Structures are given as structure tokens and as C-alpha cells.
Amino acid sequence: MSADDTIFALASGTGRAGIAVIRISGPCGGAALAALTGRTAWVPRRAMRVCLRDPQGEHLDDALALWFPAPASFTGENVAELHIHGGRAVIAAVMAALSRIAGLRSAEPGEFTRRAFLNGKLDLTQVEGLADLVAAETSAQHRQALRQLEGALGSLYEGWRRRLVAAMAHLEASMDFADEDLPEGVEQQCREEVAALRAEVAGHLALGSGGERIREGFLVVLIGPPNAGKSSLLNRLAGREAAIVDAVPGTTRDVVEVAMDIGGLAVLVADTAGLRSGRGRVEQEGVRRARQRAAEADLCIAVLDGAIWPAVDGDLLKLIDGDALILVNKSDLGGFDEPLVVAGRAATAVSAKTGEGIAGVVAEIGARLGRRFAAGDAVATTRLRHRHGVEACGSALSRAEAATAAEVMAEELRAAAAALGRIVGRVDVEEVLAAVFSEFCIGK
Ligand code: GDP
């Protein structure tokens, strides 16, 4: 396997479709196109109608072909795209013809994007953004992935990294060439820049893990006493029979989770075992898991049994945290005096049976999650990998600020820049020297 090979792959999904797209990238891209179409003259990036034939001259398909000459292509190499009819036999025949052309082989998973990265077309965060865009299932994931693919996160980190490299260059110049004619106060300027960067890094981390949640999904946990109607509510929310509903208390012994789209956010709603001091071992284990899941939740929904209202389960009250949404279920039974108040907090009457109040609950879940994790126009980390890198950068900046010796400070700045370089996939030590030589007339 070599990066000089010309690779090809089906870029569209598998299965029957109107159109399928085959992508070819590498030095033999033009030759491959010529072999299949008999044509050698192309207008870059313009679709051409072509007749595809295999090397024996057999007609394979009438298709569209596009030619993206290097370097203005997705991978940065010569790229050709064939838009063929999306039948399985057509795809198989064209792929077989391509594999018989010298210098061509089928691509490994992610190989086109890998080449785009290696050729500097995308940084690592953009590569992740592309993967997220293809995987996006909700509108928030879609928006976030697109923003990342456009480079919002990468350019933030790369901007910081460039500033660090510049500060480092100034500092090292002041150390190495102390006798030369350097501007006054270089070290002081550098310290000011480090303080400014550290504040920006801290602000970015303070945005929290909302971006990660948008990508991975928010966790909403239903808690409440047995028979309150948690399973019924989950089914109502999911619009399908996802959890077992039973009139005998204590049937939900494990945690049932259903993934859903609430207001454009990917949300995992978990139904937990009823919270009560369980009789059997299995129930106790269920309650333990329920508590654990509730502790991890982005939002807890406390479900009270309206059939026994206004009696309220004492154990449940202890578990309702400040952010929990409190519901009193079974409003269809009547007898609720609104407004409902539980432990001094407003509660909402709903009926899992009739659906009363459910639309409002869905809107409220979306609004609360959105509020808690909204970063406004600011871009937040979308993976733990970014968070760890930015944290490492922040720690190195703090140490640089505390350093008295310029050498120590420079070393920490190097560590801070390297941490950011790892996030975007760029670590270049020569850059410091380049910056020194471009900004100071040292070889005078
Ligand atoms: P869980 O133990 O909290 O998960 O409760 P379930 O969802 O299993 O429901 C317990 C019982 O309450 C079942 O018999 C349900 O049919 C009933 N139930 C659930 N929601 C409602 C509701 O909104 N109204 C009425 N009348 N009964 C309900």
C-alpha cells in the first residue's frame, strides 16, 4: 500500500439507487478516466456526458464524469468522479473495470480523507467534522459538524498556536541575541500575550461539554417511584412501545434507553427502575443503577404517581436536584388542583395515557438542554480529545506565566503550542526558527 497509488471507491451508499458516485484519486486518475471514456480533454470541474466501456470495449453505462486536477480537489491529487446509474450490477461492472486498470486499487476506509489531511486540505478537526457530518442525525449535530468542517474549531486553535509560536520566537530571540539590537520589553510583551491567551483558553473551556453532548447525545433520566408511569411516559415520548409497561410495581428492573430527537438535539432517554428500597436482590441492583444513571444525567425528570396525589414519595424528594423537571402523571384521573407544587417547586400535570401535557414536556426538555449547553456564537470542543488538548495547553500557559526564567517560560510555551498542534494535527518545530528569521534582521 502506498500513498502514490491511485485509489477508487464507491462514494455513495450501497444498495439500489438512481445514481451512484465513484471517486478516483491519484496520479493515474486521468489515465483511468481516459481508459473508461476514451476521452483525454476535460474542462476542470465541469460535468461531461460520457459512455463508459471496459477494456474489452463492452458498454458499461452512460454516465457523467467530472475532472478535478490537482491541487484544487478534495484530496489535493488528481480526482475524477463518475456519476453512474445506481444499480448493483452497474456499480460492480464499473468497479471491476477500474480494478483492471494498471496502477489502480480500491481505497481503504477513510483513505480519501487521509490524503486530504496529508496534503493540507483539511486539519484534524475538519476531518472529524466531516466524519460527524456524515454521521449527523439531528439538526444540531448537522449544524455543529458543518461549522467544524468549515474550520471554526481548527482556526481557533491554529490562531492560538500561531500566536504562541510568535511569542516563543520573540522570547527565544531575546535570549539568544541579548546583545543585538532588539526592541525593548520583548519579554514583558510576551508575558502579556501569554496572559491574554490563557484567559481565552479558560473562556473556551468554560463553555463546557455542550459540543460533546450535541455530538454524542444528551442523557435524560426518568426517576420516580414504581408505578408512577415512567415506562408509559418513555413510550409516549418515543412514540413506540420501547419499555415494558406493567401494572405490577417493580417491573422495570434494568435501565431502558431510547434514543430520540428532541428539538433537534440527540437525546437518550433512560427509564429506570422504581426508586424504593427493593425487596429482591434484582430490584436493589436496579435501584442502584437508576441512582447511578441519574447522577450522570444532563437532565432528570422526576415522575410522580398522580393516582395517589397529593401524597409524594419521600425517597424521590431527596433525589430531585435543582434542575430536575417535575411531572405528576395520570392527569386523566382528575383531582389535581393546579398549580401543582412539589417541595416548593412547580410541577407539571401530564398523562402518559392520553398524551395530555406531553408536547409541553418535550418542548421544555429541548429548551432546558439548549439553555444549559448553548454556547451562542462561540465554538466549543466537540470531543474529549479537544478538551484534553486545550486543558494541557492551559496548564502549560499557567506554568509559563509562573516561570521567572525566560528559558523555562519558552519551554512551557513550546508545550502549550504542541498541545494545540496535536489537536489540529500539526506539530512543526522548524516554525519557531522561521518566525525568528523572518521578524528579526539577525544575519545583518
Ligand atoms: P413505572 O413503574 O413507573 O414504569 O410505571 P408504568 O409505566 O409501568 O405504569 C404503571 C401503571 O400505571 C400501568 O398500569 C399504566 O397503565 C398506568 N399508567 C401509566 N401512565 C398512566 C396515565 O397517564 N394515566 C393512567 N390512568 N394510568 C397510567
Helix, strand, coil shares of the chain, percent, nearest 5, are 45, 20, 35
Residue nearest to atom 6 of ligand 1 (CA): 229
Q: Is residue 411 part of a domain?
A: yes
Q: Is residue 395 part of a domain?
A: yes
C-alpha 231 – ligand 1 centre gap (Å): 7
Boundary residue ending a domain (118, 150, 175): 118
Q: Is residue 133 part of a domain?
A: no
Domain count, the chain: 3
- The answer for 59, left when phi > 0, alpha when psi is -120 to 50, beta otherwise, is beta
Q: What is the pLDDT of residues 186-241, one digit of tens each?
A: 888 899 999 999 999 999 999 888 899 899 999 999 988 888 999 999 989 988 66
CATH number at residue 357: 3.40.50.300
User: What is the Cα–Cα distance from 49 to 408, expressed in whole angstroms?
Assistant: 63
Question: pLDDT value at position 437?
Answer: 47
Among 64, 57, 232, 212, CA closest to 148:
212
Q: Is residue 157 part of a domain?
A: yes
Boundary residue ending a domain (67, 87, 118): 118
Give pTM, 2 decimals: 0.81
Q: Is residue 134 part of a domain?
A: no
Among 71, 69, 99, 92, CA closest to 20:
92
Q: Is residue 174 part of a domain?
A: yes
Q: Is residue 59 part of a domain?
A: yes
Phi (first) and psi of residue 268, to 5 degrees = -105, 115
94 and 165 part of one domain:
no
The per-residue DSSP string of 132-193 comes to HHHH--SHHHHHHHHHHHTTHHHHHHHHHHHHHHHHHHHHHHHHHTTTS-PPTTHHHHHHHH
Q: Which residues pair with 67 in a beta bridge?
A: 80
CATH number at residue 79: 3.30.1360.120
Question: pLDDT value at position 371?
Answer: 80
Please give the helix or strand (H or E) that residue 94 lies within, else none: helix 88-99
Question: pLDDT value at position 250?
Answer: 56
Prior bond of 226 cis (ω within 30°) = no
349 and 385 part of one domain:
no
Boundaries of domain holding 23:
6-118
225 and 346 part of one domain:
yes
* Cell numbers given for 92: 460492480
CB-based pocket (< 6 A), ligand 1: 224, 226-232, 245-247, 252, 274, 329-330, 332-333, 351-353
38 and 166 part of one domain:
no
Q: Is residue 427 part of a domain?
A: yes
279 and 193 part of one domain:
no
Q: Are 55 and 96 in contact (CB under 8 A)?
A: no
Q: Are 306 and 279 in contact (CB under 8 A)?
A: no
218 and 358 part of one domain:
yes
220 and 346 part of one domain:
yes
Cell numbers 465541469 correspond to what residue?
A: 46
309 and 223 part of one domain:
yes
User: What is the Cα–Cα distance from 300 to 304, expressed in whole angstroms?
Assistant: 13
Among 116, 30, 150, CA closest to 81:
30
Query: Which atom of ligand 1 is nearest to 244's Cα?
Result: 8
231 and 366 part of one domain:
yes
238 and 315 part of one domain:
yes
268 and 302 part of one domain:
yes
Residue nearest to atom 20 of ligand 1 (CA): 229
User: What is the Cα–Cα distance from 218 to 313, expressed in whole angstroms?
Assistant: 27
Query: Which atom of ligand 1 is nearest to 251's Cα?
Result: 2
CATH number at residue 405: 1.20.120.430
The per-residue DSSP string of 308-341 comes to GTT---HHHHHH--TT-EEEEE-GGG----SSEE
431 and 325 part of one domain:
no
Q: Which residues of the chain have pLDDT under 70?
A: 1, 177-184, 240-255, 273-284, 286-287, 315, 373-376, 427-444
